[in-house]
Amino acid sequence: MRYFQEEFKEFFNQLSINNNKEWFHANKTEYETHVKIPFEKFVNQLIIQISKHEDLKGITAKQCIGRIHKDIRFSKDKTPYNTHINAFISPAGSKDKSIPGLFLRFSPEMIGIMCGAYCPSKQQTERIRKHIANNLSKFESLHSQKKFYYTFGEIKGETIKRIPEQWKEVCKLEKLILNKQWYFVAEREPEIFENENLIEEIMNYYIVAKPLNDFLKIAIKQ
């Protein structure tokens, strides 16, 4: 099934040129018809497929999809709208990005697919580090698998500047224990919007990411 038509990308192309409230309100019908409704249907179908592999606690597409309105309170860029649409599919939805899930960002330039722990709290970060330290071989095997590396590349995230005494020896074996986040990203060309097997394409990324997502979930829940 094809969820998105050419108008999906064209809306964002035009929004990037006319990023103001007047233009958006004048074109709100196009937004609803070609962006909001198709994306919600797509995310709903993804939730159905992902629910076959994990308990999403009854999360809905609306709870996963981010707002098109930007938070400009602390930004130098005061344009009011995002020129992309995103969703964070996890048991907590978009309100809690500390829980490993599937994050999607759709724009005319590319499709971004991200998994892992993007915004763990200080307490969750310590739990993840301890879990890595206690399971070094398993963690290394998960992120060094050829299929994982081919699909997502390396685990990303900021690292701490000063190494605490308790991690000085462990970090010689696994440098990722010094991360503040553990997330991994893939980008696809915008042409796959037109793919009738887009759900299957995205699910392939989810399946590859799931073992490492599960490892991080176990750490966070400890």
Unique residue bearing structure tokens 């179908």: 45
- The verdict on pTM exceeding 0.85 is yes
Q: How confident is the model at residue 162 (pLDDT cuts 50, 70, 90)?
A: very high
Unique residue bearing structure tokens 């005061």: 78
Distance CA 30, CA 130 (A): 49
Alpha carbons within 13 angstroms on the beta-carbon side of residue 145 total 15
Give the pLDDT of residue 40: 98
Give the pLDDT of residue 194: 84
Q: Which residues contact 113 (CB under 8 A, 6 or more apart)?
A: 102, 103, 104, 185, 186, 187, 188, 202, 205
Give the pLDDT of residue 154: 96
Give the pLDDT of residue 69: 94
Report residue 8: phi and psi, to 5°. -60, -55
Average pLDDT, the chain: 95
Ramachandran region, residue 201 (left: φ > 0; alpha: ψ -120 to 50; beta: rest): alpha
Give the pLDDT of residue 193: 86
Report how far apart, in Å, the C-alpha atoms of 123 and of each of 126, 135, 216 are.
5, 18, 13
Distance CA 190, CA 109 (A): 6
Q: What is the average pLDDT across 146-170?
A: 95
pLDDT value at 75 more than 80: no
Give the pLDDT of residue 84: 96
pLDDT value at 74 more than 80: no
Give the pLDDT of residue 32: 98
Q: What is the average pLDDT across 122-146?
A: 97
pLDDT-above-90 percentage for the chain:
90
Q: Residue 23 in 3-state DSSP? A: helix
Amino acid at 162: R
**Protein fold of 6-221:** BirA Bifunctional Protein; domain 2 (3.30.930)
Give the pLDDT of residue 77: 84
